[in-house]
Amino acid sequence: PTSYITATGGTITTDGDFKVHTFLSSGTFTPTIGNALSGADTVDYLVIAGGGAGGSSYPGNQTGGGGGGAGGYLTSSSFTISAQAYAVTVGAGGAGSASVAALSGTNSSFSTATSIGGGRGGSQTGSIAGLVGGSGGGAGAFSSSDNGTAGAGTGGQGYAGGTAVYTGPAYGGGGGGGSSAVGVNGTSSAGGNGGAGTANSITGSAVTRAGGGGAGTYTSGTLGTGGSGGGGASARGGTATAGTTNTGSGGGGNGGSPGTGGAGGSGVVIIRYQFQ
């Protein structure tokens, strides 16, 4: 008789003839392999790292915080597995702050696939440069004739953050990079929007994840919005919006004085295979 994969680990749902294992936190995927069906030793996967936090504005400084970059986005439609236990790591989103540099997200992994945490957005607190990541953090803008560089994305996983401008009145930071688009550049009147996320139907219905965070402005201008898929919106003072949990999206930047950047969203690992 024909046999199929069976497996344990994560939250298990059914989509027609397929089982879907969703890991919202780290765990173990343990398959038993069928022995008579061609392709019964392959799975599909989606591995998304934690998103980076948005940049902040240090008290007394005219700063537009850059948006956090989305976590790296990796997918495969036919990955060969064997009968063994596979460690699954789900990366955390980076933490935002008003007094120290924002943090990048952490990596997610399944077998040989490792997605890179999203780069944090730039700010005057720590560094106005956005950091490299799965998707790069947006640059922060500072009023003293200076603005940071945008973080680059990782090839095949995401895109770069947007650039910033140090001219007023807005001092617009750059939007965080998304998994399918570069973060929008800031201007003298607006913070950049986060780059768009990517839609995937591995669970049986299309869901967009891994959008970049929007960038802040200092005292005026248009605040950057988060990219599709869960990117956090920026703010002017208070705390910017966090990236949506388990989407790997970047947090929003902040331009208030002081203002806290939004945290990055945690990542997710999803595995799908035919079971009948």
What DSSP string describes 86-131? EEEE-PPPPPP-SSS-------EEETTEEEPPPPPPP-SSS-SSPP
pTM for this entry: 0.95
How far lies 125's CA from each of 19, 55, 146, 184, 205, in Å?
A: 46, 8, 14, 22, 41
What pLDDT, in 10s, does the model give residues 77-134?
A: 999 998 899 999 999 999 998 888 899 999 999 999 999 999 999 987 667 899 999 9
Regions in the chain scoring below 70 on pLDDT? 1-3, 34-40, 58-62, 125-126, 144-146
Tokens linked to 230: 């869960």
Q: Which residue is listed with tokens 């956005």?
A: 130
Confirm if 206 and 173 have CB atoms less than 8 A apart. Answer: no
154 contact partners, CB below 8 Å, separation of at least 6 = 72, 116, 132, 133, 134, 135
Sign of CA dihedral 96, 88, 78, 18: negative
